[in-house]
Amino acid sequence: MSGYEHLVVLAFSAILAHAITPRVAEAMSALNHVRPDVHKPGRPLVPYSGGIAIYASTMLALLAAALFDTSLAAQICVLAAVASIAFAVGLVDDFKVLGGRTKTLLTLLTVLPLVVAHITLPSHVQLGRPLVPLLGRLRLTIVYWLLLPLVAAGPANVVNMLDVFNGVMPATSLAATIALVVSAYLIEPRGALLLLPLLGALAGYLPYNKWPARVLNGDSGSLMVGAYIGAVAALLHLEFIAAVTLIPHILNGALVIASVGGFKEHRQMRERPVLVREDFKLVASSSQTAPISLVRLILAVEGPLEERQVAVRLIALGIVSSILAVVSALLTPR
């Protein structure tokens, strides 16, 4: 497997996503599957479930990767299965709203392909003993298996919870995926191929979702992307590095869950953490009982901001944590 073939998979995925996304947007508009973009004047209706384009291009690029390197076929099948489960849960939620708890519980199913493959194909799919800085392979023997159900469901849900403004989900996930690709090249170069389909798909999709978005991701996009990142991290033993890339997402998820007392859909929340002013600037709620989120805290520190300005700050925080993830990989003994 040469670098040339890695480039082919990456380019194939990016071109595919860039070509498919406008078609998906047209199809969603034709189905009247649209949502108001609430942070813009006039609340324009924007096609929803753009995650279909990310999923389709990632899966086709994964197929190409399997043809280039058949020794990774088992891991590629596991990734495809994990991503498909998360995508299906998200797509159902996009069309027929699921409750926050139901959706979270359903995403736990993403652990099944990993466990089945680990049991049936132990020579191809080995889980456990994550790589960490300074120590190398961590001696986690029991705890790892207790926490395993969260390995894909956790990232899926925290990525979903930070999918709040145009461009934030694909851009922060792109930064996280780039950090994971660099880490994989430093630690396990063959495994980097598993990340390139997602990297290309996000790069090809981002221009359509960046401000002002021409398509919205939907949970089908955010749940699938998060689950993919978690699953590939487990397959390559990069769980710690993936967690570092997602620190802003984890921080936001923990704040929201702690302040609302559990898993609740934003539609179920009585108060909004962030308010939209008449000039369409966002402002932090000053209510003591409103949910706490990372965006609310950013606005509390800086005062009213436009949607695009908040998105830039969230993406910058994603880049900071991705840099730390690469530093973690550099500090990890081979």
Sites of contact with another protein (CB under 8 A): 132-135, 138-139, 141-143, 146, 240, 243-244, 247-248, 251, 254-255, 258-259, 283-284, 286, 288, 292, 294, 296-303, 309, 313, 316-317, 320-321, 324, 328, 331
Is residue 236 a contact partner of residue 261, using CB atoms and an 8 Å limit? no
How many whole angstroms separate alpha carbon 322 and alpha carbon 20?
28
Pairwise CA distance, residues 30 & 179, whole Å: 37
CB of 137 to another protein, least distance (A): 10
| Distance separating alpha carbons of residues 334 and 330, to the nearest angstrom | 9
Contacts with 216 (C-beta within 8 Å, 6 or more apart), sequence order: 35, 37, 46, 47, 48, 49, 50, 209
131 in Cβ contact with 241 (< 8 Å): yes
Q: Residue 215 Cβ, how far from another protein at the closest point, in Å? A: 28
Q: Report the DSSP beta bridge partners of residue 282.
A: 276, 305
Give me the least distance between CB of 334 and another protein, in Å please.
17
Report the residue number, 11 or 140, with the smaller CB distance to another protein: 140
With CA atoms as reference, report the closest residue to 105 among 118, 86, 128: 86
Instruction: Supply the minimum distance, in Å, between the C-beta of residue 251 and another protein.
Output: 7
For another protein, which is the closer residue by CB, 38 or 316?
Answer: 316
Angle (nearest 5°) at CA 58 between 103 and 256: 30
- Nearest distance from C-beta of residue 128 to another protein, angstroms: 13
Residue (67 or 316) nearer to another protein, CB: 316
Q: Which is nearer to another protein, 108 or 251 (CB)?
A: 251
Pick 97 or 300: Cβ nearer another protein: 300
CB nearer another protein, residue 22 or residue 133? 133
**CB 194, min distance to another protein, A:** 24
Please answer whether residues 208 and 25 qualify as being in contact, where contact means their C-beta atoms are separated by less than 8 angstroms: yes
